[in-house]
Structure 1
Amino acid sequence: MTKLTLNRRRFMGTAAMTGVALASPAYLRRANAAGDEVNIWTYNDFVPEAFKKQFEADTGIKVNVRLVDDQGKQFNLLAAEAPNPTVDIMTVAGHRFLQFIDSELLAPLDTDRLSNWGNINPTFSESDWATINGNKWGAPILSGMEVLSYNTDLVTAEEAQSWDTLFSEKYKGQTAYIIQDMMSIVMLMKGYDGNMVAYMDDPDKAAAIVEEAKQFLIEKKPLVRKYYDSGAEFQQMMVNQDIALGHSWNGPAAALINDGFPLAMTIPREGSYGFVYTFNIANNAPNADNAYAFLDAILASPEIGASMTKASGFISTYKGASEYLTDLERKSTSFSEEELANLQFFRAEANELKYGLVDPAVEAIKAA
């Protein structure tokens, strides 16, 4: 197999460079907040570096970012710190709201304190999943989906139309995926409800379905090169040509496409799931006023939303953000109508049931 020649230093610097197209300082001066710091747990590239520096300069608030790579790990860390967390803002996916809310780890979001709330597309800010118990719980910032990404020099478009290819002998040792996310997709592949909403009144059936998915992934374990956690790890494996295809979020895949890497992504015919990332304020946040100042500033303009898309590859929830993207960037964040017809959104109603079963199953797969 011939290695693709790619300037890795140039690629790894792309995300940092895309942060320059931000709002003018005037947007940020609106915060007018005094204080020392705001502590944020979030994914790589969700806080553009140029925005961070400008916010710090204009408000005097130091932004401390701690990178996370898994919702379950973040939940466990926050729960361990309760009721006095060290974090002010964290990034929670909309479909996991209930787990955090029921454990009293999030504070209801006071949108009256966010003058820029109206800059979010109401498709996201006013959707059913965004309101729970009559409250908003997070500011939607980026949306995305789980896709099958593949090196177009090594894998055909026809092969990529099915998740089965990810588990084929042909690509043994050339695949990678996030186990927890693949559990939902495997359930979907087998004709089940990966959200587990259909089994809320039948926990025994839910347990049997999770067990079936777990045994499938254990059986297929000899085929996978690596279980990974972060989008950056997936990108590096692709760039190094350690893998030919893998399950990924569309964001990291889009970033590779925009850098010129021979990558494509699909929503396979068996289906997949979409999700929305939100910025949330921790219950008893130590710097709540600064947290609101940060949220209002980062919602200030479509340019900021576009910069987040450029850096992360995920789709901005901001009105007008696409106007600040290139044609290639728009292309890398869109899918055909046929593919979108195969997409479902993660739902939260059965999360306690689902993740109570899935999280232990993931550990069992790793240990097998």
Structure 2
Amino acid sequence: MNKKMLAVPLAMAAALGLALTGCASGDGGASVSDDGTLKIDVPEVPMIEELGDFENEVNILAWSGFVEPAWADQFTADTGCTVNRKIFATSDEAVQLMRTGEYDLVSASGDASLRLIVDGNVQPLNTELIPNFGDDIVSGMKGQLYDTLNGNVYGIPIGRGANILEYNSEVVTDEPTSWDVVWEADSPYAGKIAAYDSPIYIADAAIYLMHHEPDLGIENPYALDQEQLAAATDLLKQQNEMVSEYWSPATNVTSFTGGNSVVGTSWEVLRKATQDEKFKSVLPQEGSTGWSDAWMLAAESESPNCAYAWMDYTSQPDVNGAIAMNFGMAPANAAFCEMSDEAKEHCDYYNATDEEYFEQVWFWTTPIDQCLDGRTDIQCTNYQDWTNAWATVKG
């Protein structure tokens, strides 16, 4: 589903949600080239051709657990670049903070990265200046449409994970094979269902509809026209009557361990954090959404040399692995998985190098006006439309 190549035929892009190609002029339009390739215009932001002297510091926006003294102090010792970290709690917050111009780098998830690219907030990256962005980076995290546009790479992968179905096996005694247990009105677990608290969760509803209401014609859960968005919103409103809690990473674990929820969407690291064998997880037959995080460089970064050094340093297997283990996700650098028995166990748990597993995952991608499924005859709904729809779901 989330195949990752550039310059692909439009028919394949529409069916598989592939990366986009084309030239950038900044007017936000979409077109189809003679070879059937979808093009989306984005602002022209220059790419750095060569590096200079290190600045004194680098200001980094990050998810909790991505920037810690255990590896940041060594980076400072090696480069002289002091690492200033600010933690954000949501992708929306990350986007807002990046737009202030006060930060050099952000660990952006797919529901933030495309917004930052299309709005000209981040710059394309010269991967030749990042030696550790090489063959050891798993193929499934390269060339994805959420951070690769017009042949330009905007994100250096950090890690990824699927949004799995977690359940309390003492209550849900038969392993679920479908997401129907959280979406259908006759679910026996109504009132005990956990759901993710974000407009991007609309994509989860869209994936379910792709499989169970094919007449809607949804080909990519992040490319919804008005009718498709309305159908997903209706399904979410139906689910709202059964939801016990809309969770953030800070509340998911307690929702399950406290008994408030017995089934619902979750992350593997959160399920693991319950530390109770009765809590299990599965990737249902419809597939799922997921998240893939990458370092992105501000368009007008004041410390680009330190920023490039940080992206390269954190892409080496030991450091990338340390971040992945600390946060709880599959690392981007597969070489880490061979470094120790502990590393191998971690990689196995998070399916780090299992591309067959991740082919079932639609990674978060910001919905924009241009239809990411290849349609050019209509305008798709964008993230603001999704935000407005989500407000009607939550009430």
Q: TM-score, normalised by structure 1?
A: 0.75
Partners in 1 of 2:362 and 2:328 — Cα distance?
A: 20
Determine what percentage of the aligned residue pairs are the same residue. Answer: 23
How far is the alpha carbon of 1:334 from its aligned partner? 2.9
How far is the alpha carbon of 1:126 from its aligned partner? 4.3
Cross-structure match for 2:387:
359
| Residue 243 in structure 1 maps to residue 261 in structure 2 | yes
- SS of 1:86's equivalent? coil
- Candidates 132, 154, 166, aligned match of 2:182: 166
- Counterpart of 2:267 in structure 1: which amino acid? W
How far is the alpha carbon of 1:234 from its aligned partner? 1.4
Structure 2 unaligned residues grouped into runs of 5+: 1-50, 211-215, 373-379
How far is the alpha carbon of 1:279 from its aligned partner? 0.6
Checking the alignment, whether the CA contact within 8 Å between 1:119 and 1:299 is kept in structure 2 is no
Cross-structure match for 1:144:
161
Partners in 2 of 1:236 and 1:48 — Cα distance?
A: 25
- Counterpart of 1:307 in structure 2: which amino acid? A
- Candidates 334, 352, 363, aligned match of 1:319: 334
- Counterpart of 1:54 in structure 2: which amino acid? Q
| Residue 256 in structure 1 maps to residue 273 in structure 2 | yes
| Residue 303 in structure 1 maps to residue 318 in structure 2 | yes
Cross-structure match for 2:288:
272
Alignment of 1:36-55 (within 5 A): 36-55=56-75
Cross-structure match for 1:334:
351
| Residue 195 in structure 1 maps to residue 220 in structure 2 | yes
Partners in 1 of 2:250 and 2:350 — Cα distance?
A: 18
Partners in 1 of 2:258 and 2:323 — Cα distance?
A: 25
Alignment of 1:3-22 (within 5 A): none
How far is the alpha carbon of 1:32 from its aligned partner? 11
Partners in 2 of 1:210 and 1:185 — Cα distance?
A: 12
Partners in 1 of 2:230 and 2:335 — Cα distance?
A: 44
Partners in 2 of 1:211 and 1:270 — Cα distance?
A: 20
| Residue 227 in structure 1 maps to residue 242 in structure 2 | no
Q: Any idea what the Cα deviations from partners look like across 1:92-149, whole Å, max 9, x if unmatched?
A: 2346543221210001112232232226425146435353223210101112222111
- SS of 1:171's equivalent? coil
How far is the alpha carbon of 1:218 from its aligned partner? 2.2
Partners in 2 of 1:171 and 1:309 — Cα distance?
A: 33
By percentage of residues, which structure has more helix?
1
How far is the alpha carbon of 1:33 from its aligned partner? 7.0
Q: Which segment is superposed worse, 328-337 or 286-295?
A: 328-337
Q: Structure 2 vs 1, CA of residues 194 and 88 (structure 1 numbering), >3 Å: closer, same or farther?
A: farther
Partners in 1 of 2:92 and 2:219 — Cα distance?
A: 17
Checking the alignment, whether the CA contact within 8 Å between 1:32 and 1:59 is kept in structure 2 is no
Partners in 1 of 2:238 and 2:64 — Cα distance?
A: 32
Q: Structure 2 vs 1, CA of residues 119 and 57 (structure 1 numbering), >3 Å: closer, same or farther?
A: farther
Partners in 1 of 2:310 and 2:115 — Cα distance?
A: 25
| Residue 155 in structure 1 maps to residue 172 in structure 2 | yes
How far is the alpha carbon of 1:328 from its aligned partner? 4.6
- Counterpart of 1:216 in structure 2: which amino acid? L
- Candidates 50, 68, 78, aligned match of 2:98: 78
- Candidates 342, 367, 371, aligned match of 1:350: 371
Partners in 2 of 1:198 and 1:218 — Cα distance?
A: 20
Partners in 2 of 1:330 and 1:153 — Cα distance?
A: 28
Q: Structure 2 vs 1, CA of residues 90 and 271 (structure 1 numbering), >3 Å: closer, same or farther?
A: same
Cross-structure match for 1:212:
231
Q: Structure 2 vs 1, CA of residues 272 and 40 (structure 1 numbering), >3 Å: closer, same or farther?
A: same
Checking the alignment, whether the CA contact within 8 Å between 2:136 and 2:335 is kept in structure 1 is no
Q: Structure 2 vs 1, CA of residues 337 and 73 (structure 1 numbering), >3 Å: closer, same or farther?
A: closer
- Candidates 104, 109, 115, aligned match of 1:93: 109
Cross-structure match for 2:38:
none
- Higher RCO (Cα < 8 Å, 6 or more apart): 1
Cross-structure match for 2:15:
none
Checking the alignment, whether the CA contact within 8 Å between 1:41 and 1:68 is kept in structure 2 is yes
Q: Which segment is superposed worse, 51-60 or 129-138?
A: 51-60
Partners in 1 of 2:234 and 2:83 — Cα distance?
A: 43
Q: Any idea what the Cα deviations from partners look like across 1:212-260, whole Å, max 9, x if unmatched?
A: 222222233232122123x23213333444322221233433x427x55
